[in-house]
Structure 1
Amino acid sequence: MIERLLPGIAWLRHYDRGALQGDALAALIVTIMLIPQSLAYALLAGLPPEVGLYASMLPLVGYALFGTSSALAVGPVAVVSLMTAAAVGNYASVGTPEYLGAAIALALLSGLILVLMGLLRLGFLASFLSHPVISGFITASGILIATSQLKHILGVDAGGHTLLELVNSLAEHIDAVNLPTLAIGAGATLFLFWVRKSLKPLLIRLGLGPRLADSLAKAGPVAAVIVTILLVDFLSLDEAGVRVVGEIPQGLPPVTLPPFDLALWRDLLPSAVLISVIGFVESVSVAQTLAAKRRERIDANRELVGLGAANLMASISGGFPVTGGFSRSVVNFDAGARTPIAGVMTALGIGLTALLLTPLFRELPKATLAATIVVAVLSLVDLGALKRTWNYSKTDFAAMAATIALVLAVGVEAGVVAGVVLSVALFLVRSSRPHMAVVGQVPGTQHFRNVKRHQVAVSPVVLSVRVDESLYFANARWLEDKLYDMAVADRALKHVVLICSAVNDVDASALESLEALNERLKDAGVSFHLSEVKGPVMDKLKRSHFLDDMTGKVFLSQYDALAELDPAATREALHASRPPRSAATV
């Protein structure tokens, strides 16, 4: 029973020395990677740097207890940090106690929403965010985040929430660029790009093992932090205008409570919902990808509870919304993490850093943290997906392009909402005019194919139509009119057979349309039949009077239907020579 409530406990039953060694090594590497990331993402969210450290401790423990992934590394991530800044920035000014309080309240709301979704088993709702919308959102967010960090690399006081505002503000302040800051920021950015692309192959050529080389490459941001801190300290660059992190309070995160302001909670609720859904989609996709490599199973609903627990832990420890990060989860997996205990060990490492090492970060340039963010988020930008999506599906391209454009032009929340709404609208438009095909019998077989794509035999008295979509309110009347028009256009026609092999559901509106079509065809002297109806659909139809009133029959297969309705044509087609096999699609 306790393992059902706390899935993380199950890992302890089979925990051995090998798992301990793998988790310890992974925790060490992820801790080194997470320290600069947590400071940087706090900067991105407009929060004090120590808040990033706080958000990287207890949330990992919360997820370890309730999550189901052995390798997912939870903590601050770029996209959620950006969404936090956008949401909280509408309520308070950066640097004020109200701003921090709103960020903590946002973490609490996100945690409550995620836990509630998990308890209600609503993990499937994430499917309403189509991949093109998610891809477009992440790409646009990456561009927006990278642009927002240029002010720290240039050392200017630029601002803005949209791409145009940011670019205009940067242009207005370009004459105030601080050259030492630019040197540090540009140098750190180039170094981190080089580390990401070239350091590992170089270390392997020098004789290091692939695993050690990869671990050292992942520590590149730490090297950038150490070097730039030493530069600022030895050259007194802070006196030359280089902006540094400043004093970071030592100690573990304090127990905090978010402000219980109902008006604030109401204002933050829409943002909390979006952050929860976006964070869950990003996290569960990473968890499932890594789980597949070990043939493990991820429970989406328990993942919701695990991420909810992580955010609740963030809210009581002075943090802000968190989720599973792609890059650090991959590092955690590759470093050998065997269980969520690696996350607990990482939390301990961050805790020791907060207790003992925070004075060392006083001279850390904000430009270095900005460079860390820029390099991390630009790896998420995939503009090539626009071309690929355009070539494959124009409707999906429209949703993706709209998401990108609105995120850049209006903001992250407007972009993702518009993308979801457009995806649903395009789905309704597409499914309201489903693909329909008149089919005929392939000579020499019992198979039926589209008359426009194959050489088939067609009965003069039977119209066989396959509809490739479930029948529901959006397409019911269109299907009724289309079938009726096709039937009355041929005076020799005696039967209409609707092939339902691709129909997974018939809702009440569609049932009424089928009943109306049956009556209209009856008045025209044409019988209406169904074939290849799936079991669940047949169960629903049996609960109505439609089958009793239908002028025709329900056939197990289309061949059975044609064999009874026009046996002569069926036998002739069955014994005819079969045409050469075509490469055409069905």
Structure 2
Amino acid sequence: MSGPPPPLNRADSSKDHRPLQPSTLRQSHTPPSRPGSGDSQNSDVYPSITAIGDSFASESTPLILDDQSGPRSHGTFDPQSSSPPNGLFGGSTDDESESQDHGSNGGFFSSLSGNDDWKRWLSRRMRTTKMGHSSELAEQAGFRDTPFMYLAYYIPCLNWIQQYKWSYLQGDFIAAVTMASFYLPMALSLASNLAHVPPIFGLYGFIFNPFVYALLGSSPQMVIGPEAAGSLLVGTVVKSRVDSGGGDSEDNDILHAQICGVVGGMAGAMVLIAGLARLGFLDSVLSRPFLRGFISAIGFVIAVDQLIPELGLAALAEEEGVNHGSSVDKIGFIVKNVGETHKLTFAVAGVSFVIIMIFRELKRRLEKRFPGVAFFPDRFLVVVVSAILCWHLDWEDKGVEVLGSVKAASGGIFEFRWPFQLAHMQHIRSAMSTSFLIALLGFFESSVAAKSLGGSSIPGIELSANREMIALGTANLVGSMFMALPAFGGYGRSKVNKTTGAKTPMSSVFLSLISVLSVLFLLPYFYFLPKPVLSSMISVVAWSLIEEAPHDISFFLKIRGWTELGLMAAIFLSTIFYSLTLGMALGVGISLLLVIKHSTRPRIQILGRVPGTNRYENPESLDSRIEFIEGCLIVKIPEPLTFANTGELKARLRRLEFYGTSRAHPALPRIRSHDSNRNIIFDIHGVTSMDGSGTQVLEEIVREYRERGVRVFFARAPHHRDHPVWQLMDKSGIVDLCGERHFVNDVDAALRLTEYEDSVMTQ
């Protein structure tokens, strides 16, 4: 057995801080040796010593080397890390990257990292506090950040374009063709049957919006486009603003398109402003029961709305004015006039619905065994076959409604029209609330879709709620200039995009190009498309919106979540019996009230000692018996103090003083004696911040205690005098009221101090 280690020479210790025994933690995390270091035998394991250049890394090797020779990667801040090998748009190859300078990308965009005066001017103008800290961090790591690094963060296309490879092209193009075959007919149906605008503006929603999102979006595989809920809300504005008997058909089409552009423009502007104001946290405000209740209600409303044209009762419903009524009114109309059903129309719609549902179920069951079955364009085939049969069998002459001529309302395609004109002011006022609902619902649905797709497939692009708002808002603002339907992300569409091989936003660009070609060359072939087929496709969407509700209902029943079930029922019933607007407004209002109630409730806890230990726990959360300290009331404040949660702080403290628990009803007489509260100890470790209102309430509480002769102690308070919480407590007079010596490190120290002061007073 070896003897004790020799004593450490303190003269050398100032220069050598290595431990006598190397840390096993660092050994266990030593990176593998570099390829070509000569240790090919152990290239797949983590050795304890790693070659770096001509030296070897050991426990004393610094994590950041001063040597600048050779290529290195610095993660996010490394200019080379944003350009993978074999880039299509200027990325370097493997051989080239070894010989390039550390600050060069080898492409066009790398010229932005130079030292020209205008670049320094741009850098100063776009610099923020976080960028300043990042620059210091980059400088410590031995390299310099560039303005282009931050520009590529806010404009993601500058990032993924550099990294695009030829190998991505096939998957992106196939995904775009697959989505076009599925969703372009759906866009025609959404525009014609739900939004009540000319069908071409549904196609516009797949031209401008996905292209803009591909440039600015932070979810590379998400594809935005018109959705059933947003289209239905646009239709409610159109129906409420346009008199059904006023003007001829062409004038009505132009007016409908203008209203669609105004609604989409306001929705886009709201989302854009929210993104610039960094309100991305709003995606966590509305609860899942709210979304489930509203989406299920939308599915039910859509199903009832589409049942009228599927039965061939659209003309009769227009005569009786049922289209402006609630879903209950429409159900009554259907029951009353079911005998007037057009049999051929109902047969076409029913067969189309059954075929699509059968293929949908077959895909779901066979997709795990045969992944390629997901690419089968069943809806596209239904549309093509039905159009051919309609033309060949003269269904139009037999009473089946067809889509007819698909053209722009004003006659010219891609006509630019600014949505916020003074002439549109009456539409803006009437559509304000509905546009807000479209923006809110669209953002939440897009957020859910983006999160469900998982992490980004492109290095350097990370999902950001604020940037998503900016991208979605800009896309809809641009689309509204051409009167396109509002477009947001959808999980089903984005999942199809991902599973069919898409890797980058280039699939959205291809989808936009295919949509442009469809508008330019394929519009005449849409003439014989039967409207019952389009209605049946939308009915399938309605079914998908409703089918998840039973699972959520059974879950909340199992856990007895009566509040969640009540919220879902209130939204659903108000939507069914009155309108979508009331259902959405009611749901948002209840959700915000629940959030406010949750945020304003003080979460202070009384603490007691766990027997035989120095741990202090809340007796209300433990089954074991907790020891209360005689003459002391220990109160834990586990959260920052703000104006929101300090309104009832005094009342909650009073309840703890009287009863020793927050669960007692205030009607009970006092249980704890005054002597039990002669020392109040606040554990404020969780108070990481305070605002002015919270500080004022705390000062009033401390002052009242001191006037009653109660000693106040603060445990685990901030130690540094430059800490914002300490400065507020000092400036407000709380420190002077208690005495600085009453600010201690932990609850044990506070208890010892109370014992000492009690002993001094008794002498």
Name the TM-score, length of structure 1 as normaliser.
0.88
Return the structure number with greater helix share.
Answer: 1
* TM-fit CA distance, 1:24: 0.9
- Give the one of 526, 532, 536 matched to 1:361: 526
Amino acid of the structure 2 residue aligned with 1:490? S
Residue 704 (structure 2) aligns with? 520
Residue 336 (structure 2) aligns with? 172
Q: Work out the CA distance in 2 between the residues paired with 1:543 and 1:93.
A: 65
- Give the one of 256, 264, 272 matched to 2:427: 264
Residue 673 (structure 2) aligns with? 490
Where 1:351 maps in the other structure, the secondary structure is helix
- 8 Å Cα contact 2:556-2:565 kept in structure 1: yes
Residue 438 (structure 2) aligns with? 275
- 8 Å Cα contact 2:706-2:737 kept in structure 1: no
Residue 224 (structure 1) aligns with? 382
Amino acid of the structure 2 residue aligned with 1:135? R
Where 1:243 maps in the other structure, the secondary structure is coil
Aligned pairs for 1:362-381 within 5 A? 362-381=527-546
Residue 214 (structure 2) aligns with? 64
- 8 Å Cα contact 2:600-2:645 kept in structure 1: yes
Cα pair distance change 1:525/1:141, threshold 3 Å: same
Q: Work out the CA distance in 1 between the residues paired with 2:325 and 2:734.
A: 57
Task: Please say which of residues 303-312 and 328-337 is displaced more in the overlay.
Answer: 303-312
Cα pair distance change 1:486/1:286, threshold 3 Å: closer
- 8 Å Cα contact 2:286-2:592 kept in structure 1: no
Residue 555 (structure 2) aligns with? 388
Q: Work out the CA distance in 1 between the residues paired with 2:632 and 2:221.
A: 59
- Give the one of 356, 363, 371 matched to 1:211: 371
Residue 183 (structure 1) aligns with? 347
Residue 565 (structure 1) aligns with? 754
Q: Spell out structure 1 runs of 4+ moving beyond 6 A.
A: none
Query: Deviations for 1:91-145, whole angstroms, at most 9, x for unmatched residues?
Result: 2257612121111122222222232222232222343333322222212111111
Task: Please say which of residues 380-389 and 465-474 is displaced more in the overlay.
Answer: 465-474
* TM-fit CA distance, 1:538: 4.3
Q: Work out the CA distance in 2 between the residues paired with 1:203 and 1:331.
A: 12
Query: Deviations for 1:226-284, whole angstroms, at most 9, x for unmatched residues?
Result: 23223322332222221111122399832220462223223222322221222112112
Q: Identity of paired residues, percent? A: 27
* 2:614 is aligned with 1:464: no
* 2:638 is aligned with 1:443: no
- 8 Å Cα contact 1:462-1:566 kept in structure 2: no
Query: Deviations for 1:411-469, whole angstroms, at most 9, x for unmatched residues?
Result: 22222222222122223334444444322111233222222423222211111233555
Cα pair distance change 1:230/1:433, threshold 3 Å: same
Q: Work out the CA distance in 2 between the residues paired with 1:356 and 1:322.
A: 23
Task: Please say which of residues 148-157 and 436-445 is displaced more in the overlay.
Answer: 436-445
Task: Please say which of residues 226-235 and 331-340 is displaced more in the overlay.
Answer: 226-235
Residue 451 (structure 2) aligns with? 288
- Give the one of 86, 108, 113 matched to 2:236: 86
* 2:195 is aligned with 1:45: yes
Where 2:545 maps in the other structure, the secondary structure is coil
Residue 743 (structure 2) aligns with? 554
Where 1:438 maps in the other structure, the secondary structure is strand
- Give the one of 259, 266, 274 matched to 1:117: 274
Residue 531 (structure 1) aligns with? 715
RMSD over aligned Cα, in angstroms? 2.8
Amino acid of the structure 1 residue aligned with 2:445? E
* TM-fit CA distance, 1:45: 1.0
Cα pair distance change 1:305/1:156, threshold 3 Å: same
* TM-fit CA distance, 1:397: 3.8
- 8 Å Cα contact 2:188-2:203 kept in structure 1: yes
Q: Work out the CA distance in 2 between the residues paired with 1:283 and 1:410.
A: 27
Task: Please say which of residues 347-356 and 425-434 is displaced more in the overlay.
Answer: 425-434
Unaligned runs of 5+ in 1: 570-586
Cα pair distance change 1:198/1:539, threshold 3 Å: farther
Residue 196 (structure 1) aligns with? 360
Q: Work out the CA distance in 2 between the residues paired with 1:305 and 1:78.
A: 22
Task: Please say which of residues 524-533 and 171-180 is displaced more in the overlay.
Answer: 524-533
Cα pair distance change 1:330/1:461, threshold 3 Å: same
- Give the one of 373, 385, 406 matched to 2:574: 406
* TM-fit CA distance, 1:533: 4.6
Residue 9 (structure 1) aligns with? 158
Residue 45 (structure 2) aligns with? none
Q: Work out the CA distance in 2 between the residues paired with 1:293 and 1:374.
A: 33
Where 1:25 maps in the other structure, the secondary structure is helix
Where 2:436 maps in the other structure, the secondary structure is helix
Q: Work out the CA distance in 1 between the residues paired with 2:652 and 2:156.
A: 53
- 8 Å Cα contact 2:415-2:482 kept in structure 1: yes
Amino acid of the structure 1 residue aligned with 2:270? I
Name the TM-score, length of structure 2 as normaliser.
0.69
Higher RCO (CA < 8 A, seq sep 6+): 1
* 2:607 is aligned with 1:423: no
* TM-fit CA distance, 1:152: 1.7
Query: Deviations for 1:141-161, whole angstroms, at most 9, x for unmatched residues?
Result: 111112211112111123245
Where 2:648 maps in the other structure, the secondary structure is helix
Q: Work out the CA distance in 2 between the residues paired with 1:152 and 1:524.
A: 77
Q: Work out the CA distance in 2 between the residues paired with 1:419 and 1:203.
A: 36
Where 2:675 maps in the other structure, the secondary structure is coil
Q: Work out the CA distance in 1 between the residues paired with 2:212 and 2:521.
A: 23
- 8 Å Cα contact 1:160-1:166 kept in structure 2: no
